[in-house]
Structure 1
C-alpha cells in the first residue's frame, strides 16, 4: 500500500537552500515578482472546463489545469422529510425517510434528478447546514485523512454560509443556498457533492477543487415543482422544464447589469515579502511567507445606492491561514558559518573571519518566522473584493462557461 500523501501545504519541500533562496528573491522583487512560469501576480493558470459530464446526476463539471491536474465534481439531490425539533429536543414529525413513500424513495419517482423547491410557501422555516454534504477523494489518501476532511469542511462552510439563509429578496429568490433547499415546512432537499481529484496534487489542490465545485453547482438542475404550499411535493417529469439551482439570468431586466447570487469560491493566496501572489504553483508555495485561503461569494444586494450599477457585490465569507511548508525547510549556511570555509581563503595570508549569525544574510535561505502585518491582509481583501479585481475576474470567467 502506498504511503499516505501529506498535505501539500505542510509537506517538506525537496528544494535545496540555494533553490529556495533563488525563488524567494525572485518572488519578493518589489512591486513586480518574477514567477517561475512568467505569470503576473494576479494571473491564474490556464484551464479547460466542461459541464454535464456525469450521467444520473443533477449537475457535474470537470476542470483541468495546464499542469495536468484534473478534478471531477458530481452533485446529487434527493428529497426527504423535514424533522422539526421542539424545545426539549423531541421530534415533532416523522423520521426522515419514513411514512407513506416519503423520504428517500421519492428520488426514484423523479428519476434520481431531485425536484424544485417551493417559492413563497407560507411559514416555511430556514434551511439547515446539515442538508449539504460534501466529500473529497484524493489519490493516495484515505477518506478520513486530515487533508480531504479539512478541505471539504472549509468549502462546505463557505457554501452554506453564503447568502442570507431563507430570506428572500424583492424578486422572490432566496438569497442563500439553505433557503433554496426548503420546499415547504414538511419537505426539503438534501444535496450531496462528491469531489474526485483525478491525479495526485502537484500543488495545494484547493483552487482546483473549489472552481470545479462552483461550476458543478452552476449546472445543477432540480425538476420543476407543481404542487402548492404545504402539499406533498409533486414534480413535473419533463426534464426540459427543470430549473437551475442557481438561475443563469435574473428575471427582472432592471438589474440585468448586476450579477445574481452565485456559489462561493475559495482562492489560494500567498505572501512573499510585500508581494501578494494568486494561484501559486508548488515552487511558489515552497517559499511563501504566509498562505491564505480566501472564500468569497456573490450576493444579490450589491449597494445601498440602487442607481449604482457598477458596484461590486462580492462578499468576504472567510479567510484562513495555512502553515506554509517553508517553515519546515532547512536553513542555508553563509560562508562565515560554514566550518569548511572558516579560516580558508584563496591567499596564503588569510585571516579568520568571525561567524555571522544575523537573522538575514543576502543570498542565504532562512525560513521566515513570525506572522504577517494587518496591512498585508487588508491589501489581499481589497485585491479580491474590489470592482474588476481578482474575485470579479474569476467569477466572470466561470460565468462564461456554457452549461446545460
Structure 2
C-alpha cells in the first residue's frame, strides 16, 4: 500500500477501532456488516464531449468524475512475430496476427487537492487502475487495421475533502468501470486497410463493452478493497479504518520502525506499557489470505457488486428508452 500521512488518532482511539473491528462479527462505526459496501450514487453520460463518462459519489462526500475519449492513431508495431512467415500472412496479403499494445491506454488521475504528479499515492493508484486494463483483451479490441488503432484516454477527477489520504481506490475503480461500459466506439465508414473515417451518426456507434442479449459477458476490471483485522475480513473500509490499519497494522522499513532494530540508548524498547495499545507485529498467514480470496470469489461478494452495477446500467438504459419514446 502506498504511504499515507501520519495518523492523528490517539492510542485510545486506535485501541477502540482495533477492538471493535476484531469483534465477531466486527463492529463498524457506520453499522455496516463486514461485507457491506458504502451507499453510492452514480450516473453515466454526463460529459457531452467524450465517448463515455460516469459520475460516482459516496455517502461521505467524496466524488469521482471519469471521462473517456477515443482517438484514431497510427500503429507503430504491426504484428506479432511468427516462426513461420507464411502463417503470418492471410489470403489478402495482410498480417494475420495483429495484437494490441498497453501503450494504447492512457489513464490520469487529477485530485482536487492539487497533489503533485509524482505523489507516491497518486502514482500507485494510477498503476492499480491501469494495469488490470492492459492485462485484458482491451488493447486487442482497439485495433482498427494493421496501420491504425484507437488510443483510449481515461481522465479521472477525484473530489474529496481528505484527498488521497482516504485511499479512494474503490471509488476510482467503480467510476472507471462505469465510464468504460458507457463508452461507445464510432462506426467507421472505411473498410480494410483504408484510413479510418468515422460515421457522424452517433446512434450507429457500438459499445466498447457489449451490452444486452447476445453480449459476450466481458466487463472492465473492478478492484475491491479488502482489509483484515485479526481473523476478520472487512470489505470497503472507511477512511478511519484505512487510516488505522495502514499505519498501525503494517509498518514499512521507510518508517524506521522495523522489529529487531534497536535504537541506540533506548533500553526500554519492546517493553509493554500498561494502558497503551501495541499493534501486533507480523503479516497474515496463508490460510487467512486464502479466506480473503474465497470471500471475494466464492462468497459471492464480487458477484453481488457486478450484479448491482449491471442492474444500474439496465435501469439507465430503460430510462433512456422511455425518454426517447416520449420525444418521438
TM-score interval for Structure 1 and Structure 2 normalised by the shorter chain? 0.7 to 0.9
Residue 268 of structure 1: aligned partner = 225
Taking the aligned partners of 1:237 and 1:122, their CA distance within structure 2 comes to: 29
Residue 242 of structure 1: aligned partner = 205
2:117 to 143, 146, 150: 143
Does 2:33 match 1:40?
A: yes
Indicate if the aligned counterparts of 1:9 and 1:323 stay in contact, CA closer than 8 A. Answer: no
- Give 3-state SS (helix, strand or coil) of 1:267's partner: coil
Taking the aligned partners of 2:131 and 2:232, their CA distance within structure 1 comes to: 28
Indicate if the aligned counterparts of 2:4 and 2:121 stay in contact, CA closer than 8 A. Answer: no
Indicate if the aligned counterparts of 1:74 and 1:195 stay in contact, CA closer than 8 A. Answer: yes
Q: 1:86 to 1:218 in 2, by over 3 A?
A: closer
Taking the aligned partners of 1:191 and 1:376, their CA distance within structure 2 comes to: 38
Taking the aligned partners of 2:272 and 2:219, their CA distance within structure 1 comes to: 46
Residue 245 of structure 2: aligned partner = 288
Q: How far 1:181 moved relative to its partner?
A: 0.3
Does 2:290 match 1:378?
A: yes
- Give 3-state SS (helix, strand or coil) of 1:380's partner: helix
Q: How far 1:241 moved relative to its partner?
A: 1.1
Count the aligned residue pairs. Answer: 289
Indicate if the aligned counterparts of 2:170 and 2:236 stay in contact, CA closer than 8 A. Answer: yes
2:140 to 179, 183, 186: 179
1:152 to 126, 144, 159: 126
Structure 1 gap segments, 5+ residues each: 1-6, 88-120, 163-175, 253-258, 292-321, 331-354
Deviations 1:216-270 (A, max 9, x none): 0010001112333323223322101110000112527xxxxxx700000111111
Does 2:107 match 1:134?
A: yes
Deviations 1:151-175 (A, max 9, x none): 111210011112xxxxxxxxxxxxx
Q: 1:260 to 1:20 in 2, by over 3 A?
A: same
Q: How far 1:122 moved relative to its partner?
A: 6.9
Question: Normalised by the size of structure 2, how large is the TM-score?
Answer: 0.79
Larger Rg: 1
Indicate if the aligned counterparts of 2:68 and 2:152 stay in contact, CA closer than 8 A. Answer: yes
Taking the aligned partners of 1:359 and 1:122, their CA distance within structure 2 comes to: 69
RMSD: 3.1
Structure 2 gap segments, 5+ residues each: 81-93, 258-267, 321-328
Residue 150 of structure 2: aligned partner = 189
Q: How far 1:27 moved relative to its partner?
A: 0.3
Indicate if the aligned counterparts of 1:122 and 1:229 stay in contact, CA closer than 8 A. Answer: no
Does 2:88 match 1:125?
A: no
Taking the aligned partners of 1:143 and 1:210, their CA distance within structure 2 comes to: 19
Moved over 3 A (4+): 322-325, 327-330, 357-361
Question: Normalised by the size of structure 1, how large is the TM-score?
Answer: 0.65
**Correspondences of 1:327-346 after superposition (within 5 Å):** none
Q: 1:39 to 1:9 in 2, by over 3 A?
A: farther
- Give 3-state SS (helix, strand or coil) of 2:209's partner: coil
1:54 to 47, 60, 79: 47
Does 2:28 match 1:29?
A: no
Q: How far 1:11 moved relative to its partner?
A: 1.9
- Give 3-state SS (helix, strand or coil) of 1:188's partner: strand
Taking the aligned partners of 2:220 and 2:295, their CA distance within structure 1 comes to: 20
Q: 1:35 to 1:260 in 2, by over 3 A?
A: same
Taking the aligned partners of 2:51 and 2:11, their CA distance within structure 1 comes to: 49
